[in-house]
Amino acid sequence: MANVAVVYWSGTGNTEAMADLVAQGANDAGGKATVIAAEDFDAGQLGDFDAFAFGCPAMGDEDLEQTTFEPMYDEVESRLQGQKVALFGSYDWNEGEWMDKWGQRAANAGLNVVGTAIAKDYPDDDASEECRRLGALLAE
Ligand SMILES: Cc1cc2nc3c(=O)[nH]c(=O)nc-3n(C[C@H](O)[C@H](O)[C@H](O)COP(=O)(O)O)c2cc1C
């Protein structure tokens, strides 16, 4: 059984809803998901998990949230080489460019990015299904 960490930051709840869906997908696929707010996660917990989903909405100008999420992510990314990782988050104004940048960044850092999921605002049925699918991939 894979222990899956679902680590997220969310200002208005959209990415938080996605985190719960990713966790549901992982649990339904036989894994054990733990949903953790970004401020409660650090590199010391990496060893407790087999796979990781990170969630952050588009903030700034197609960036990650810089006060809480990105400092945590900067710390853990370099220690996740070769590990199964999925990325997800919500956006509104543009077309998801922040996720293209983030996925590229993670791949360049040597992470095994098994998939990404984005939702315009609150996840609709299609985005919800994508989130569950990500969770299932991490639980394999
Ligand atoms: C300060 C700020 C910056 C944002 N920057 C972007 C952006 O660059 N591109 C975009 O598509 N949406 C942007 N948004 C919209 C959010 O990504 C969107 O509202 C998202 O659903 C918020 O997710 P959350 O509910 O998990 O916080 C921004 C929102 C805020 C408040």
- pLDDT for 61-70, tens place per residue? 999 999 999 9
pLDDT on residue 99: 98
Q: Is 10 in the pocket of ligand 1 (CB under 6 A)?
A: yes
d(CA 26, CA 47): 18
pTM higher than 0.85, yes or no?
yes
What is the pLDDT at residue 1?
83
Which residues neighbour 24 within 8 Å (Cβ) at sequence distance 6 or greater?
A: 33, 132, 135
**C-beta neighbour count of 9 within 10 angstroms:** 25
What CATH number does residue 37 fall under? 3.40.50.360
From the CB of 91, is ligand 1 less than 6 Å away? yes
**How far apart (Å, rounded) are the C-alpha atoms in residues 24 and 89?**
16
Would you give the DSSP letter of residue 38? G
Cα of 119 to ligand 1 centre, how many Å?
A: 11
Q: Can you list the alpha helix ranges (DSSP code H) found in the chain? A: 14-28, 69-77, 97-108, 125-139
How far apart are the C-alpha atoms of 4 and 124, rounded to whole Å? Answer: 23
Residue range(s) defining the domain that contains residue 58: 3-139
**pLDDT per position as a tens digit, 69-109:** 999 999 999 999 999 999 999 999 999 999 999 999 999 99
Give the distance (Å) from ligand 1 centre to CA of residue 45.
Answer: 28
Please give the tally of structural domains in the chain: 1
- Looking at residues 15-34, what average pLDDT do you find? 98
Distance (Å) from CA 2 to ligand 1 centroid: 31
Ligand 1 pocket, 115 CB below 6 A?
Answer: no
Calculate the average pLDDT of the chain. 97
Provide, rounded to the nearest whole percent, the portion of the chain with pLDDT above 70: 100
Q: pLDDT tens-digit profile of 131-140?
A: 999 999 999 8
**Cα 8 to ligand 1 centroid, rounded to whole Å:** 14
